[in-house]
Amino acid sequence: MKIVFVNQRQLWILVVCFFMIVIMIGASANWDKAARKIFGVKAGVKLEDEDVAGLLPEEVTELVKKMAQKVNREPVNASYFPETGEIIPAQSGKAVDIAATVSQVCLAKPGATVKLMISEMPPTISEEYFKPVYHGNKELDRVAFAINVAWGEEHLVDILKTLEQEKVKATFFFVGTWVKAFPELVREIAQSGHEIANHGLYHGHPANMKKDELKKLIADNATLLWEITGKKSVNLFAPPYGELNTLIVTTAGEMGYRTVMWSVDTVDWKNPAPEALLQRVLSKIEPGGIILMHPTMPTRKALPTLIKSLRQKGLEPGTVSSVLQKQGSN
């Protein structure tokens, strides 16, 4: 057995180290108390029913994250049940705003009770997606220009000039075959700030199509518009020929598209006199209305007077999306 002797100097060093450790432990405890008093949650503060007094911000954050796991709920999109023809309603989700909740807790006065800051998460697809759109919000002093483009490029440049001069943005529903033929013109329209929407990859008869073909008609054209314009088109679909049935609407709805029809048809493809076109529109148009037109000679000639006349009636022309907004939206 080996005996180790410690001299007096070594003993003093050991004693000093011991007391330094004790002092550091005590100082650490005192610092923790001081930090909680200075930076921690005030006395008596509760988050929901849980006492959080003295907790530091990072501790509050961890607590809120745990509470959020029990509260958060993903939104549920509306859907269509073909067996019964029933539209299953959408459900909004919930999400705890962690940063806002932590901020409220840390700023709370002594004795206060703080509730979780919860935001509603709207579904992407609501019940309206499974119903065709004939009219926008009648409480808005706006109307929409819905311009279906599958032909008529010779008139489109002048129509665009009129829209620019009058500071009007319209919604252009493009057919994919036309987009492929005139990509530069499509890009120009998109860059001018007009709304770009879907009229199908080709001008076929959607009423004769099965679901897979309808999905391809919409999806492939959306991809094409993205490739040409460099930005996502709005989720609005105008069926070629204005054909409409339950399968068309529900297929578009499931894909996140609203099926857009019209309130007033200019019937400009029949080549009416511009005066007749104006009379047809102005005698029927109402706030929130959707005016269907094409790039035709009658529309080109009537457009300046149509815009002026609509404004005289207190109706500002614009995009389809603008008339689908709720009251008070910009």
pLDDT at 298 over 80: yes
pLDDT at 20 over 70: no
User: pLDDT-based confidence at 1, cuts 50/70/90?
Assistant: very low
Q: Residues 44-50: contacts with CB within 8 Å, 24+ apart?
A: 44/110, 44/111, 44/112, 45/105, 45/108, 45/109, 45/110, 45/111, 45/112, 45/113, 45/114, 46/112, 46/113, 46/114, 47/101, 47/105, 47/113, 47/114, 47/116, 48/113, 48/114, 48/115, 48/116
pLDDT at 19 over 90: no
User: pLDDT-based confidence at 30, cuts 50/70/90?
Assistant: low
Q: What is the mean pLDDT of the chain?
A: 91
For 232, the token pair is 């996502």
Comparing 13-17, 107-111, 118-122, which segment has the lowest mean pLDDT? Answer: 13-17
The model's pLDDT over 62-72, given as tens digits with 9 standing for 90+, comes to 999 999 999 99
Vertex 210 angle, CA 205 and 215, to 5°: 85
The alpha-helical segments, DSSP class H, found in the chain are: 8-39, 57-71, 98-107, 153-165, 176-181, 183-191, 211-229, 246-254, 274-284, 297-312, 320-323
User: pLDDT-based confidence at 24, cuts 50/70/90?
Assistant: very low
User: Is the pLDDT higher at 169 or at 3?
Assistant: 169
The model's pLDDT over 171-216, given as tens digits with 9 standing for 90+, comes to 999 999 999 999 999 999 999 999 999 999 999 999 999 999 999 9
The model's pLDDT over 260-297, given as tens digits with 9 standing for 90+, comes to 999 999 999 999 999 999 999 999 999 999 999 999 99
How many other C-beta atoms lie within 10 A of the C-beta of residue 27? 11
The whole-number pLDDT of residue 31 equals: 62
pLDDT at 29 over 80: no
Query: Distances from the Cα of 125 to the Cαs of 129, 151, 258, 259, 290, in angstroms?
Result: 6, 32, 9, 13, 22
pLDDT at 118 over 80: yes
CA dihedral 129, 132, 136, 139 (to 10 degrees): -80
The model's pLDDT over 202-253, given as tens digits with 9 standing for 90+, comes to 999 999 999 999 999 999 999 999 999 999 999 999 999 999 999 999 999 9
- How far apart CA 125 and CA 142 sit, in angstroms, is 24
The whole-number pLDDT of residue 18 equals: 46
Question: Sheet of 50-51: strands edge to edge?
Answer: 50-51, 46-47, 113-114
Q: What average pLDDT does the segment 21-32 reach?
A: 50
Pick the CATH number of 131-323 from 3.40.50.1100, 3.20.20.370, 3.40.630.30, 3.30.420.40: 3.20.20.370
User: pLDDT-based confidence at 8, cuts 50/70/90?
Assistant: low
pLDDT at 135 over 80: yes
The whole-number pLDDT of residue 37 equals: 81
Q: Domain map of the chain by residue range?
A: 41-124, 131-323
pLDDT at 32 over 70: no
Q: What average pLDDT does the segment 82-109 reach?
A: 95
